[in-house]
């Protein structure tokens, strides 16, 4: 009988503030009322090394608003996109239904990845 050991986990690498877009750009961008500015903030989060942890923490805390981990939060829930003021068009409603499904799947996957990372750290 042989015993295979898992490779040791590397210590978590420190991430400097220069690597975090939310520290390098105007903080109001992540809490804007403008849908276009929120989309810009989401795109800046795409390459952030802490994106998944940020998103999982925001879901856990039920952040009331803003962009967290590349997703838009409104009233403590992740929304696919922020609607502009006024009555939505019918085609916008159909697109929003599809986006809600895709967003829910992305959030569930991100939270699952972060939870599995924490489980691995606890097991070590």
51-70 residue pLDDT tens: 989 999 998 999 999 999 99
What's residue 6's pLDDT? Answer: 47
4 assigned to some structural domain: no
pLDDT at residue 84, rounded to an integer: 66
State the average pLDDT over residues 70-96.
79
Q: Is 25 inside a domain boundary?
A: yes
Give the H or E element holding residue 73.
strand 71-74
Mean pLDDT value of segment 36-42:
92
* Domains contained in the chain, number: 1
Question: Residue length, the chain?
Answer: 124
Tell me, yes or no, whether 8 lies in a domain: no
* In the block, residue with structure tokens 């879901």: 59
pLDDT at 63: 92
Q: Are 53 and 121 in contact (CB under 8 A)?
A: no
**Distance between CA atoms of residues 103 and 89, nearest Å:** 20
Domain presence at residue 11: no
Mean pLDDT lowest among 1-10, 62-71, 115-124: 1-10
Kindly report each contact of residues 43-46 with a partner whose C-beta sits within 8 Å and lies 24 or more positions away, as own/partner: 45/21, 45/69, 45/70, 46/70
The reply to whether 107 falls in a domain is: yes
Residues 99 and 116: their CA atoms lie apart, in Å, by 26
Residue 54: domain span: 18-123
Q: What is the mean pLDDT of residues 8-12?
A: 49
What does pLDDT average to over the chain? Answer: 79
Q: How is the beta sheet containing 65-68 ordered, strand by strand?
A: 65-68, 71-74, 77-79
pTM of the model: 0.62
Packing angle between helix 90-123 and helix 51-61, nearest 10 degrees? 100
Residue 66 lies in a domain: yes
- Alpha carbon distance 19, 23 (integer Å): 8
Query: Is residue 23 in a domain?
Result: yes
In this structure, what token pair is assigned to residue 101?
Answer: 């499904």
pLDDT attached to residue 123: 62
């Amino acid at each position: 009988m042989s015993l295979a050991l898992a490779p040791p986990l590397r210590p978590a690498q420190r991430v400097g503030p220069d690597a975090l877009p939310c520290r390098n750009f105007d903080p109001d961008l992540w809490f804007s009322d403008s849908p276009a500015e929120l989309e810009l903030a989401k795109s800046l989060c795409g390459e952030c090394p802490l994106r998944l942890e940020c998103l999982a923490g925001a879901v856990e805390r039920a952040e009331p608003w803003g962009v967290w981990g590349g997703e838009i939060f409104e009233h403590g829930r992740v929304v696919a996109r922020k609607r502009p003021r006024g009555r939505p068009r019918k085609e916008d409603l159909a697109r929003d239904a599809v986006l809600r499904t895709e967003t829910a799947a992305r959030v569930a996957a991100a939270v699952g990845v972060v939870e599995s990372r924490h489980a691995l750290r606890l097991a070590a």
